[in-house]
Amino acid sequence: MKLGLHLSIRESIARVIPRAVEKGCNTFQMFSRNPRGWHSKELERSRIDDFRRRLKESEIWPVFIHTPYLLNLASPKKDVYRRSLKALMEELHRAEKLGVPYVVTHLGSHLGYGKKGGFQRIVDAINNSFAKVENDVTLLLENTAGTRNSMGSSFEDVRDILSRIHDRKRVGVCFDTCHAFAAGYDLVSNGAVKHTLSRFESVIGLEWLKLVHLNDCKSGFGSKLDRHEHIGMGRIGERGFRNMLRSDLGSRPLILETPIDGRRSDLENLDKVRELAR
């Protein structure tokens, strides 16, 4: 089982690798820069070399970079859209330099201006980024919880975006379990998990599924509220995770983005996943 966490790059980007080793991860996700700002410092050659060396020595694989929080590929605001496009291209470049094969991105919000225009802006941003950044990094589109004006909460929405990308070999899907449950995809009973994955297969195709964000959901089924919870402590519960881990989802890399609080540590969440997977 490929199991890991979203980990901090504080002090140095190469420090993320010993953190992953210390926590017993054999895969992990990270930001490549400050996720709450538009500006990014150029990666120094020495830090790139250090990261690549440590990653090779660790034998941890695969690794994922998540785009910054501010990025909104569906935004009708010209300045935000321009900055989002620039940030996406930068992340594709940075991933290539670091030897990271995947970049994960949220699809953003149309801010009330309509899904049709939002879809077009997302598609244009991805196609333009791929045209200007020619490498082998795969961009993974993450499903959303369906909060107001958000893009990509349904399998059909994700499929429609994928179908309009010119270079299809450079895109895939990141499936977030919290987001899916909040959007109305049942992931609790064995039958419900099978039904949801059958819908994914028929609408998108499981061959496009490259990563699972494994998170419980604090909010109710179909609530459209994006509130992550510790594994088994939310509305999906231990039963749901046991069934998911024994399905096709369990064969993909699993990244936890669970809360940081005093109720349970990252290590305890990893142990809970391993327990439920037995």
Domains and CATH numbers, the chain: 3-277 (3.20.20.150)
pLDDT at 182: 98
pLDDT at 78: 97
Q: Assign 256 a pLDDT band (cuts: 50, 70, 90).
A: very high
pLDDT at 138: 98
pLDDT at 58: 97
Half-sphere exposure of 209 (CA within 13 A, CB side): 24
Closest by Cα among 160, 73, 157 to 118 = 73
pLDDT at 260: 92
For 97-126, give the DSSP string.
HHT--EEEE---B-TTS-HHHHHHHHHHHH
Q: Assign 192 a pLDDT band (cuts: 50, 70, 90).
A: very high
The 10s digit of each residue's pLDDT in 70-104 is: 999 999 999 999 999 999 999 999 999 999 999 99
Percent above pLDDT 90 for the chain: 98
Residues 6+ apart with CB under 8 A from 156: 203
Residues 6+ apart with CB under 8 A from 53: none
Residue with tokens 């120094």: 44
Asked if residue 103 lies in contact with residue 143, where contact means CB atoms within 8 angstroms, the answer is: no
**211 is written with which tokens?**
């990563």
**Mean pLDDT of all residues in the chain?**
97
> Which residues carry out catalysis?
36, 66, 69, 106, 142, 176, 179, 213, 226, 228, 257
The 10s digit of each residue's pLDDT in 243-252 is: 999 999 999 9
Residues 130-147: what's their mean pLDDT? 98
